[in-house]
Amino acid sequence: MLYEERNIYNMEKKGGLKKSIIIIAASIAAVIAAVYFWGVWFYSTHFFFGTEIGSFNCSNMTVDEAKEQIKNDIENYGFTFYEKDDKTEVVTGKEIGLTAEIPDNLQELLQEQKPFLWLTSFKSRSLPLKTEAVFNRHTLYNRITQLDFAKKSNETVGDYTEKIYFENGQFRARDNGTSDVISINDVYSRAKAKIKDLYLGMSLEKEGCYKGINDDDTVKGVLNLANKFVASKITYNLGDETIILDSATIKDWVNIGENSSVKLNTDKIREYVDGLAKKYNTVGAERSFKTSGGSNITVGGGDYGWKINASKESDELCGLIWEGQQTEREPVYAQKALKSGKNDIGSTYVEISIASQHLWFYKDGTLVTETDIVTGDTTKRRSTPSGVYRLKYKDKNVVLKGEDYETPVTFWMPFNGGIGLHDATWRGRFGGSIYRGNGSHGCVNLPYSAAEKIFKSLSPGEPVVVY
């Protein structure tokens, strides 16, 4: 009997516990269901937790609340630049005249929400913002240049002329090992795009705006132009010689100054061309000359020979370097000789020996004629000047005039101002010492037949050698 009573008691006790568990479980389920259905009801009119529309936080807001929040955020809009070392700077919407319409798609975005899935929505989500900001872009650019990171970049670049050096045929900028240099254009273009979509900021580092000094827009422009100059290669053909002008010399002509200026030093270019002229001009230079008598003499003076037009050649050279040209050329000549090189007389020339009072005329190395002559009167200081001259022109039937004479000649061939070769039919003889006391006013008097032969074959520009 006692055993049965205990058994009944234990069964009743177990039944009560089971009933309690069921009641508790049912209560919890009811609470969960209530919370769930409350969430379904709540999120049928509110955006999910963690919802961002564009860059605006609309978490747990109704459409009207979201509109009001976005309106306030636009009115108080600020775009934050996140810099290195956790520094931030802000450009406000008011500073750049920013305005934007309140998006009209908020109700559509809410309706696309699935409220019954609200329990799975506890993570941030971004929805599209159907509006674009309007702002003054010029003001934005200027405002960016006023920010500390832009100023620091300018200080880092500093006087970049001190950082530019020449090595291995190129100009380069020596980086100081920092990455504080900012491309203002890159920052502006990225910020402009983000502000248009009303983003709230950007990281300069993540956007790749920090660069080395060689990537700075100003420095790049300077280096590109300077390196175009030194890429030039001008090969001068000067007679038998070849002169190569390249970066080794041109680098010293490149002037890099403030305000991104890159110029060519025209004074140094002219100095270089003057050096070429000094070395290769032959006008008036002393020449070794083999006389018809077989002796080697030195003749200097006169106006025959090569002469570089230094002014025009300097301008041409400057233009070629400015364009980065690589070319072969002759200099611009003011005057050319018949033959290249120092001994440029060639094989066609008139040879006049004052001491011998004799003339020889060679055409392409062949003697055409030779004759005795009468030159300027040495006793009256009318000596025919020595030197190597160009025949200026030829004329026939000319009257030669001076202070005390007026003489007609048939063949007139001037080579030194008013001094020239001509026939002298009034003379009965030539040569000897006539020129001492009965010489000419400086011209070279010739027999008619010799003057005629020379006149027919000698061309303007060909040399007349007087010694």
In the numeric block, the tokens 């033959």 are attached to: 339
Q: Please state, as a whole number, how many other Cβ atoms lie within 10 Å of the Cβ of residue 36.
A: 13
* Higher pLDDT, residue 124 or 104: 104
CA-CA distance, 428 to 96, in Å (whole number)? 104
In the numeric block, the tokens 């001259």 are attached to: 389
Question: Looking at the domain covering 232-335, what would its CATH class be?
Answer: alpha beta
Query: Coil, strand or helix: which one is 52?
Result: strand
Give me the residue spans of the domains in the chain.
1-42, 44-230, 232-335, 349-466
Q: 241-295, pLDDT tens digit by residue? A: 999 999 999 999 999 886 678 999 999 999 999 999 999 999 999 999 999 999 9
Q: What is the pLDDT of residue 257?
A: 80
Kindly give, in sequence order, each residue whose CB lies less than 8 Å from that of residue 137, ignoring residues fewer than 6 positions away.
192
CATH code assigned to 349-466: 2.40.440.10
- Interval 418-444 mean pLDDT: 97
In the sheet that holds 406-416, the strands lie side by side as: 395-401, 406-416, 419-423, 444-446
CA-CA distance, 421 to 273, in Å (whole number)? 36
pLDDT of residue 146 exceeding 60, the answer is yes
User: pLDDT band for position 135 (50/70/90)?
Assistant: very high
Q: 6-61, pLDDT tens digit by residue? A: 555 555 555 567 777 888 888 888 888 888 899 889 989 998 998 888 888 899 99
| φ/ψ (deg, to 5) at 450 | -65, -40
Q: For all residues of the chain together, what is the average pLDDT?
A: 90
Q: Label each residue of 210-244 as H, E or C.
A: EECHHHCHHHHHHHHHHHHHHCCEEEEEECCEEEE
* Higher pLDDT, residue 340 or 163: 340
The alpha-helical segments, DSSP class H, found in 85-216 are: 106-111, 137-145, 148-157, 184-196
pLDDT of residue 4 exceeding 60, the answer is no
Q: Bridge partners of 395?
A: 412
* Amino acid identity, position 147: L
Highest mean pLDDT among 115-129, 145-159, 183-197, 364-378: 364-378
- Residue 390 to residues 284, 336, 415, Cα–Cα distance (Å): 11, 10, 6
CA-CA distance, 409 to 426, in Å (whole number)? 10
CA-CA distance, 276 to 271, in Å (whole number)? 9
User: Tokens representing 113?
Assistant: 């929400």
User: Tokens representing 191?
Assistant: 């910020």
Return the minimum-mean-pLDDT range out of 224-233, 338-347, 404-413: 338-347
CA-CA distance, 450 to 102, in Å (whole number)? 107
pLDDT of residue 449 exceeding 60, the answer is yes
- The answer to whether residues 258 and 267 touch, using CB atoms and an 8 Å cutoff, is no
In the numeric block, the tokens 């955020």 are attached to: 73
| φ/ψ (deg, to 5) at 18 | -65, -40
Q: What is the pLDDT of residue 331?
A: 97
User: pLDDT band for position 160 (50/70/90)?
Assistant: low
* Higher pLDDT, residue 82 or 257: 82
* Higher pLDDT, residue 333 or 165: 333
**pTM of the predicted model, to two decimals?**
0.64
Q: Where are the beta strands (DSSP E) in 76-163?
A: 78-82, 88-92, 125-127
